[in-house]
Amino acid sequence: MRWNEIESDVCSVARTLSVVGDRWTLLILRDCFLGSRRFDEFQKNIGLSRHRLTDRLNKLVEHELLLKKPYQDNPPRSEYVLTAKGKDIHPVLVTLTGWGNKWMQDGDGVPLLYHHKKCEHITQPQLSCDHCGDSIDASNMYVTPGPGILKKLQRGVSPSYVPKRLLKLFKDTLNLDAQK
């Protein structure tokens, strides 16, 4: 399966990875959040080849996570700034950092510390339910089919990644709905 096929998978994880799921893209975005904006800055910080960087920046601009913004005309030079869509990647970087801080330390401790402006404490943000506010993790969550899957099932398409066990459950859901 190729990148562009992943993009059309009926799965938000797969779709997101089709944009940011390579070796470099999230590192570029990390740098954006730390204040980098220019080609050479990214190249020096990250250490990828100029070729790859051109490619990845173009992709991020295409997908509208970054905006290419001219800052001089002659010679033409641009900087890359985060759009709203790009800024929304922040939680992904925060959770990746959290995992790395916990599980990938060398002997020297955490590389960077997050601080919460409001309470002025060091923080490693955690997920909480956006309805009741309680903290939430894999053990107190479950999934059900959303409209995106149900509509495909109604059209006879079975999203490849959904385990048979769940598919059956989802089809039962459909039948129950139909009987109403």
Partner DNA sequence: ATAGTAGGTTCCATTTTAGAACTTGTAAAG
Partner DNA sequence: CTTTACAAGTTCTAAAATGGAACCTACTAT
Cα separation, 41 vs 71, in Å, equals: 15
Identity of the residue, 76 or 107, whose beta carbon is nearer to its own copies in the bound complex: 107
From the list DNA, its own copies, none, partner contacted by residue 17 (C-beta under 5 to 8 A by kind): its own copies
CB of 157 to DNA, least distance (A): 19
**CA distances from residue 120 to 95, 110, 123, 128, 134 in whole angstroms, order as listed:** 20, 18, 9, 20, 22
Closest separation in Å from C-beta 80 to its own copies: 14
Say if residue 62 is exposed, middle or buried (CB neighbours under 10 Å; 0-12, 13-18, 19+): exposed
The one of its own copies, DNA, none whose footprint includes residue 40, by CB under 5 to 8 A per kind, is DNA
Alpha-carbon distance values, 34 to 37, 73, 87 (Å): 9, 26, 12
* Residue 145: CB minimum distance to DNA, A: 24
Q: Which does 157 bind (CB under 5 to 8 A by kind): its own copies, DNA, none?
A: none
Per CB under 7 A, residues contacting DNA are 1-3, 22-24, 38-41, 47-52, 54-55, 57, 71, 74-75, 77-79
